[in-house]
Homo-oligomer: A and B are copies of this chain.
Amino acid sequence: MSGSWGNSLKISIFGESHGPAIGITMSGLPSGLALDMDWVNREMQRRAPGQNRLSTPRKEADVPRILSGLFEGRTTGTPLCAVIENQSTRSSDYEELKDLMRPGHGDYPGTIRYQGFQDPRGGGHFSGRITAPLVFAGAVCKQILAEKGIQVGAHIQSIGRIKDRSFTLEPTLGELEALAQAELPLLDPDRGPAMAQAILDAKADCDSLGGTIECVILGVGPGVGEPFFDSVESVLSHLLFSIPAVKGVEFGAGFESAALVGSQCNDLYYYEGNQVKTRTNRCGGVTGGITNGMPILFRVAVRPTASIAKPQETIALSGGTRTLSITGRHDPCIVPRAVPVVEAAAAIGILELLKEREACRT
């Protein structure tokens, strides 16, 4: 169903890139959470456009205005709605976009799905901008999770062909916090200049780059998730594949596990004091759809930005083919700004799963 997700935590997203505002409503939140709006706004800034030379020059303050569900700084427990006004909209030239279908974009599928009535300005509801409300919702969820000792963090695993190293078996909270504050969140910051250069090269070449993001969730503990149909992998992937440009999701060893033998792939249990741990984490913290208490670990593949200035052949709905060179303000590589979006999806999904578990126990 368009725009709505979740069972015990419900989120309902709305908005178009050049419409009056975008936003999200969250239902099923606990009462009494003291929302740290400064921190929420910092999370928003991690995704906000126009921050540096690697992202789109479109500038948006992206400060959410909370319309409901918050009273004297605390969540009431009633639906919390936040809206973000669209400010930097330049919509002079969208007539062409109703006719020329940009390759790799939602233009053509969207035109069929919405029978030509979708808002074409700035990508409309397909714009990556619609992930801003997701980051807001993720920030709220992260604060709830933090009180339960759960932390979400992610780094750029690769941009183009340049790779960061991977998370260790048990990343620390400090590592995650450092990542959240970095311009390019990398475990090995030395890879940063090469990545930045690769992005600038692609941009200079009127082209774009993709990459992968690795995300970890610490502190969830064992016993969260369901075998059918709400496995941890199912719930997280459902959200992750809603993020524009995500084309692959894998947990633990993921696709690599397909080439291992069982004795390599099984994570062996042992006791560390009273705590059950595994000596490897090839399952990404999830077996049988349920957490085993190790860090939940997954990676997503982000395709290169579809909007490129390089001339491409495409169809005109009015008939015939044309050569299209996409102008406008686009990110040459969306991966850095997608990192907080991936974290937000993870936070939302985990809170939903925790809520479901409490419901099941009742």
Q: A14-B67, A14-B78, A126-B227 are in contact. Are A283 and B104 (CB under 8 A)?
A: yes
| B262 A208 Cβ-Cβ under 8 A | yes
| A238 B234 Cβ-Cβ under 8 A | yes
Q: Report how many copies the assembly holds.
A: 4
Q: Is A315 an interface residue (CB 8 A)?
A: yes
Q: Is A189 an interface residue (CB 8 A)?
A: no
Residues of B within 8 A of A112 (CB): 222-223, 290, 293
Q: Count residues on chain A whose CB falls below 8 Å from chain B CBs.
A: 157
Q: Separation in Å of the A185 CB from the closest CB of chain B?
A: 16
Q: State A212–B255 Cα separation when bound (angstroms).
A: 8
Q: A1-B226, A267-B104 are in contact. Are A75 and B117 (CB under 8 A)?
A: yes
Task: For A238, give its contact among B67, B237, B358, B360 (CB under 8 Å).
Answer: B237
Which are the 9 A-B pairs with shortest beta-carbon distances?
A106-B288, A112-B223, A248-B250, A109-B290, A208-B262, A233-B241, A3-B79, A8-B359, A104-B266
Q: Separation in Å of the A297 CB from the closest CB of chain B?
A: 11
| A208 B31 Cβ-Cβ under 8 A | no
A-B contact pairs, 5 of them (CB 8 A): A1-B10, A77-B118, A104-B283, A248-B251, A262-B308
Q: A247-B283, A290-B109 are in contact. Are A262 and B68 (CB under 8 A)?
A: no
Q: Separation in Å of the A293 CB from the closest CB of chain B?
A: 8
Q: Which of A10, A247, A283 counts the most chain B CB atoms within 10 A?
A: A247
Residues of B within 8 A of A255 (CB): 212, 247-248, 250, 255, 301
* Chain B residue at minimum C-beta to C-beta distance from A127: B227
Task: For A251, give its contact among B115, B247, B250, B256 (CB under 8 Å).
Answer: B247
Q: State A68–B86 Cα separation when bound (angstroms).
A: 11
